[in-house]
Amino acid sequence: MDFPKFIEQIKKTYGITNDYALAKKLKVSQPEANWFRRGKKVPNATVCIRIANLLKKNPVELLIVAQKDRAAPEEKSHWAMALSAVDVMMHVPERPRYIPHKVEAIGQELRQLESQMLSYEGTIAQNEAIQLLNTVESTINSMMERWQIWKRDGPLFPSYLLANQAAVQRGVKIRRVFIFNREQMNDASQIEDCLQVLNDQRHAGIAAFYGFREQLATTLIYQRLVAEFRARGVKEEINAALFDNEILIFSRSYATRDLGMNNSGSIPITVIDQLNISWKPDHLRDLNPSPLFETRFVFEYQGERPFKTQLGRFLRTYGEDKD
């Protein structure tokens, strides 16, 4: 029981020597004051706030202490943890400004935990993806329709690629399938870009795969996967990865940012604008990209010549003049 020590602080601070004076100060009956002092009764919320004001403490602290004192033995540790969290929050310094900002961000994350999904926006999204990658132990299976973000002038190069390489060096097996479409594959410069991306992946120790959207669209696996993402609000290209078969990360939207302080000479860069990290059972089941690797239209990248051979076959079947 913690309240007797608060009562003793009040007696010492205000020179109180008996229960009658204590009762008057707390605005309660003399028997109640006696019970509080001896730890026989826990004050109600009104008295908790009154005690907090007398001791110049945060009322939230004493309200949680009261809940802890009332709790069953098996529940006390949870209230003690809540009290510790409040204590941390009450002692956050205002300067440097980064500290309260960081604490607020942590608080927002904690409030999201109950939903089994975290959401991030802007530049924080990419940083959080790297933090998540640093925790992976065994496998990553991912699909990338917005593959351009892996280009050497894109937002994932080199920081996220280097984090992938570090994971491979820890023994993590990474499979990543890049999905290209017909329009892109009729553009020589984009073919050069996609080969650069695939080669960079291989150099980092990643098992790179590729497929062509129009071919994959004929498979039930791809159709189902796209439908599941669309049903959950992902309207643009799908970028998703499953980490250790227990947590899923996927992009919800993208944005274009101009690198440059004025319009002339600025460089447009595509970035991840909204990112979700989920461990919801239905997300792990329905948004899992791993089945894509079992389709006959996903090929392991083994160099530029085999890639161009597959590309030629694709274009002969799915050229611009064909459905």
pLDDT tens, position by position, 288-308: 999 999 999 999 999 999 999
274 and 238 assigned to the same domain: yes
51 and 140 assigned to the same domain: no
145 and 43 assigned to the same domain: no
How confident is the model at residue 320, as a pLDDT? 64
Answer whether residue 105 is part of any domain: no
On whether the CB atoms of residues 3 and 41 are closer than 8 A, the answer is no
pLDDT digits (tens, 9 = 90+) for 156-173: 989 999 999 999 999 999
User: Given 88, 104, 124, which residue is the final one in a domain?
Assistant: 88
CA distance 40 to 45: 16
How confident is the model at residue 87, as a pLDDT? 76
47 and 140 assigned to the same domain: no
On whether the CB atoms of residues 175 and 274 are closer than 8 A, the answer is no
How confident is the model at residue 94, as a pLDDT? 78
Dihedral Cα 131, 134, 137, 141, nearest 10 deg: 70
The more confident residue out of 154 and 25 is 25
Domain with 292 in it: what CATH number?
A: 3.30.870.10
How confident is the model at residue 321, as a pLDDT? 52
Answer whether residue 285 is part of any domain: yes
How confident is the model at residue 101, as a pLDDT? 81
Indicate the pLDDT class of residue 322, thresholds 50, 70 and 90: very low
Q: Which residue spans within 172-304 are E strands per DSSP?
A: 173-180, 207-212, 239-243, 247-259, 267-278, 299-300
How confident is the model at residue 275, as a pLDDT? 94
Answer whether residue 240 is part of any domain: yes
Q: Is the pLDDT of residue 79 over 80?
A: yes
Token reading at 198: 């695939």
Q: Which helix (H) or strand (E) holds 49?
A: helix 45-55
> How many Cβ atoms from other residues are within 10 Å of residue 35's Cβ?
17
160 and 14 assigned to the same domain: no
20 and 169 assigned to the same domain: no
Token reading at 190: 């984009």
Q: One-letter amino acid identity for 35?
A: W
Indicate the pLDDT class of residue 82, thresholds 50, 70 and 90: confident
Domain with 26 in it: what CATH number?
A: 1.10.260
The more confident residue out of 298 and 59 is 298
3-class secondary-structure state, position 174: strand
Rg (CA), the chain: 29
Answer whether residue 170 is part of any domain: yes
How confident is the model at residue 1, as a pLDDT? 67
Indicate the pLDDT class of residue 99, thresholds 50, 70 and 90: confident
Q: Is the pLDDT of residue 317 over 80?
A: yes
Answer whether residue 197 is part of any domain: yes
Answer whether residue 260 is part of any domain: yes
On whether the CB atoms of residues 185 and 210 are closer than 8 A, the answer is no
User: Given 88, 108, 128, which residue is the final one in a domain?
Assistant: 88
Domain containing residue 12 = 3-88
Answer whether residue 103 is part of any domain: no
On whether the CB atoms of residues 151 and 300 are closer than 8 A, the answer is no
Buried/exposed code over 81-94 (b: 16+ C-beta within 10 A; e: otherwise): eebeebeeeeeeee
How confident is the model at residue 50, as a pLDDT? 95
Q: pLDDT averaged over the chain? A: 91
pLDDT digits (tens, 9 = 90+) for 13-39: 999 999 999 999 999 999 999 999 999
Number of domains making up the chain: 2
Indicate the pLDDT class of residue 144, thresholds 50, 70 and 90: very high
- Determine if the pTM surpasses 0.85: no
How confident is the model at residue 323, as a pLDDT? 43
CA distance 205 to 167: 9
171 and 238 assigned to the same domain: yes
CA distance 255 to 268: 10
How confident is the model at residue 88, as a pLDDT? 73
User: Given 88, 106, 130, which residue is the final one in a domain?
Assistant: 88
pLDDT digits (tens, 9 = 90+) for 192-224: 999 999 999 999 999 999 999 999 999 999 999
CA distance 84 to 128: 26
Q: Is the pLDDT of residue 189 over 70?
A: yes
77 and 130 assigned to the same domain: no
The more confident residue out of 84 and 138 is 138
Which burial class, exposed, middle or buried, applies to 283 when counting CB atoms under 10 A from its CB (0-12, 13-18, 19+)?
buried
135 and 230 assigned to the same domain: yes
> How many Cβ atoms from other residues are within 10 Å of residue 59's Cβ?
14
71 and 140 assigned to the same domain: no
Answer whether residue 110 is part of any domain: no
131 and 273 assigned to the same domain: yes
Place of tokens 């694709």: 314
Count how many residues are written for the chain. 323
How confident is the model at residue 85, as a pLDDT? 75
57 and 176 assigned to the same domain: no
